[in-house]
Amino acid sequence: MSSSKIRYSVPICGLASRICSVSFIAGGLDFFFLRGQSHLSSRSPTGGDRDEGLTTEMQVVETQSKSLCTDMTTKEEKSAGEVMKMREKDEHSEQESASINKSVQHQYFQSLTSQGVSLKCQDPEGDGPHDQHPKVEHFLGQPVQYELEDRDRLSVLTWNLDGLDSEDLLRRAGGLFSNIKKYRPDVLLLQELVPEYLHCLKKHFVNYTFLQGSDEDYFSGIMLRKSRVQLLHSNIVKFRTTSMGRNLLLAYVSFFGRELCVMTSHLESCKTSYQERQVQLTKVWTRMREVPKNVSVIFGGDTNLRDKEVSRLGGLPEGICDVWEALGEPEDCRYTWDTETNDNKDIPHSVRLRFDRVFLQAARDGPAVTPESMELIGQERLSCGYFTSDHWGILCAFTVGPEVPTNKSSCKRRRNKRREQMGINGGESHSETMSGQVLDGDNVKKGLSLQGESSQSLDSGAETPQDPGQQTECFLGHPVQCELEEKDKLTVLTWNLDGHDQELKRLGGLFSNIKKYRPEIILLQEFKTPYLRFLMIHFKNYHILTRHFSSYFTCIMLRKSRVQLLSYKTVKLPSKTMQRDLLMAHVKFCGRELYVMTSHLIYGKENSQERLDQIGKVWTQIREAPDNVAVIFGGDTNLRDWEVNKLGGPPEGISDVWEALGKPEDCRYTWDMETNDNKDIPKTIRMRLDRIFTRASTDGAAVVPKNMALIGQERLNCGLFASDHWGVLCDFTVKPQDTPHESTCKRPPEANVKEEEKKEGDEMKKNEEEPRSMSNHDKPSKQPSKAARMAISIGNLFKEHVEDKDKLTVLSWSLDGLDEGAERRCGGLLRSINKYQPDIILLQEVIPLYLAVLGTYFWNYEILPGSDDASSTCIMLKKYRVRLLRSDVVNYPTTEMNRNLLMAYVNFYGRELCVMTSHLESGKENSQERMNQLRRVWKRMREAPDDVTVIFGGDTNLRDWEVKTQKIPLPVQFTISDEIHF
């Protein structure tokens, strides 16, 4: 709450062999809690004693571990001495086996050497490619040497653990532990996990990466064996109509360089929920089919399916197989929920069903994945008298083939040949009919003609220089390979989103179309603040530009992998009643400069003259752009044709793209009340309100329109369309102006003569007035604006601080975003970030306006918002110094102010940290709730891995008397930073 700030520095011990200092900035009611490493792994070079505060905790863990080890045996009791003898025998056998294997491998390599075979990557004594993984890992404390020959065999275990049954839960966990130790699966797909179960797994299996489906009472989870499976990214797909909190958890992984997608879910339970279960199953199949063709998909989970339910859906989709059926329907693996044998549940009659299933969709263009074997596990009764779960686990083995090299030219020739055989310019997938034409998502993306032109313009043999930009990006969690060979194809989408209507359900229509067509430039009108939050969360591969924050505004989105932002600004348009402006961005598309503009002109027939004044201002800005830069404008102009004719049509050099393409009839009406019934309008109105104008450059890149299509004409599940306007999607070919070319958007010769005469006159009067049509390098230098100076300063951060790898700076600040005047106070935050340049920023009371401004000015930070509410927490990470590993949001169950805990695991120059922030309950009367939230924060800090240092910073709203009166002393291994002496 206080405006004063104090800087602190504390040592981070155990992170590396040298001492690192941490700088903190805090003040007032905001606190920092620091939990150092409580246990150093064997790889740490520093070593060190454990903290005294962990003694009791470690004793409890050891006691639990002993009880779990006891449960790892079957019901037949064994003495402790026999168990120790078995362990020693196992260790001796493993060492002997490893020695024999090493000897055999050495003899084998010697025989290959004698035959003249090179062993640069096969020498077991050398540092081959496999040496990037540790050669030994531990399962429940026992070292295991990898089977190097099994790099083509992937083992997957799926199991419903019945965590909702609290009867002997931890003792039943021993069955899972013993099976993990025995089979060492590469991927575990778990259902009905509970926090206690997950905590135990994290404590004892540190060699696995954990993914959690949610923070509810029970959830699904994925475990990935670190030595063999590397996590690329993950996603959670919510089932919107579920009444049991079910979702789909998926992860893209790399298995020794071969990309795979693994999924798990726990579909709706009970026989009466068969309809919802079928909806969820269809959603799973849809997600599997949306995965790229070069990636194989493995789904495993508790589907609760009956065979007749799959039959009602018409069976499995093409390309997806049931692994049990593919292996010949082995009888011993038929029933995964068998109350005839498994008596964990007190069910009076016998029920045998195949609830748990594994689906496989093999890659069509990538490494082949084929099922090898399947078996049911967990069928041994434990010493407690129970089985591990009321479900049997399914252990599957797959053979993963080598990476298949692809020849892009040959693939393109085959693709073009198929298109010619089909007799259309469309592809073979995801096609839909619009007004008698075939419209294909991939074709629109690649700039193929939708107006009946030949597709032979794609030269399959031509070599295209590769773009140094990123080659893979994600759209809604799905990786997409960038079309590097289509460097001259530019896709632009303009769409009025009808932000007046508060139905956020319609936003899914925009999301699905962005994912489908992947436009480089998106021009949006009637844009609301909630839309901005969702787009920033789900489309991080786009720059999002917006300047005017009112009830609704305009927005420009630029695809980072293809479009580079140089600068942008806002120009006010003449308006008396409705505030309107023109948003302009100066960009570079594959090395060629462009101007893109958007605006939402005033609506209403009675405002015709004001609308004409505004479009006149827009055309003036288009003409005043530099001559070597092409211009594209798209927006909701609300223009009627007679109004444009009243002005004599567009000025010379400016072209209406719809007219330039021959006025295609299916793209005439963008506001069509005959088809679109989002608005309750009694009469039929059809108008072309949304338009795209272009102006070609005289000596730079020329923009030639190739095709146009209207999108958003599919009715959504909510019964509405995405907007009352159709979106206008247009493809352009961006050509250099080195050679003459035919273009309907080319500026006439008369305009060039006039411009030359104007240049000569301006040169004579350059001391009297500033020339507007001169090229960029001839313009007089100007003092950069505040925003430009800030951007320059931010761009120099890397050069100034790249050597300071042992100092971590953390800023925690409650911004009071809900108070009046937040827009004016935002500049103070920007200046403070620019001054102190913190590596980690923990913010509270953040409003969407702040998030938009921070995302615009600080591109070198990764922004993690805590929620989609009007005020939330936020974590910012400096990208080139702090790398995000994973993040999580923990909701407080009893909060009345929608408060939560936002946490992120990060990597700071090879040293793993966990940072947390929260805004605890406000008000003196909410003292007890604040204490409960604080306990939950401390609990989460203690649950972090022992070799990870935890830093918490936030607005705790704590008073000193609360901590003393409530008698909740700080945990032993915790420290408050303002109590440390420096």
Residues labelled as active-site residues: 302
The CA distance from 474 to 539, in Å, is 8
Q: What is the dihedral of CA 778, 782, 785, 790, to 10 degrees?
A: 80
- The residue type found at 86 is M
Read off the DSSP letter of residue 86.
H
CB 387 within 8 A of CB 344: yes
What are the residues whose beta carbons fall under 8 Å from the beta carbon of 982, sequence distance 6 or more? Answer: 8, 9, 10
CB atoms within 10 A of CB 780: 8
Q: Do residues 846 and 829 touch, judged by C-beta distance below 8 A?
A: no
Do the Cβ atoms of 618 and 644 come closer than 8 Å?
no
- 577-590 core/surface letters (b: 16 or more CB in 10 A; e: else): eeebbbbbbbbebb
E strand or H helix at 512: helix 507-517
Q: How many whole angstroms separate alpha carbon 39 and alpha carbon 54?
A: 9
Closest to 861 measured CA to CA, from 887, 836, 833: 833
Element at 526 (helix H, strand E): strand 521-527
**CA of residue 407 relative to chain centroid, distance:** 29
Contact 242, 280 (CB under 8 A): yes
The Cα 198–Cα 193 span in angstroms is 7
Give 707's strand partners: 731
CB-hemisphere CA count at 13 Å for 816? 12
**Residues making up the chain, counted from first to last:** 982
Measured distance CA(300)–CA(541) in Å, rounded? 30
Neighbours of 182 (CB within 10 A): 12
DSSP, res 543 = E
Cα–Cα distance, 353 to 334 (Å, whole number): 8
Q: Is there a contact between 558 and 856 (Cβ–Cβ < 8 Å)?
A: no
DSSP assigned state of 386: S
CA angle 621, 686, 441 (to 5 degrees): 75
- Rounded-to-10 torsion of CA 551, 552, 556, 559: 90
Q: Quick one: tokens of 50?
A: 């454990």
Helix (H) or strand (E) holding 828: helix 822-836
Q: In whole angstroms, what is the distance from residue 674 CA to residue 284 CA?
A: 35
Exposure string for 781-806, b = 16+ CB within 10 A, e = fewer: eeeeeeeeebbeebeebeeebeeeeb
Cβ contacts of 82-90, under 8 Å, gap ≥ 24? 87/142, 90/142
Q: How far apart are CA 185 and CA 974, in angstroms?
A: 36
Helices of type H across 360-438: 408-422
Task: Give the count of alpha carbons within 13 A of 386, CB side only.
Answer: 23
Which residues face 138 on adjacent strands? 143
Q: Which residues contact 547 (CB under 8 A, 6 or more apart)?
A: 553, 568, 569, 570, 581, 583
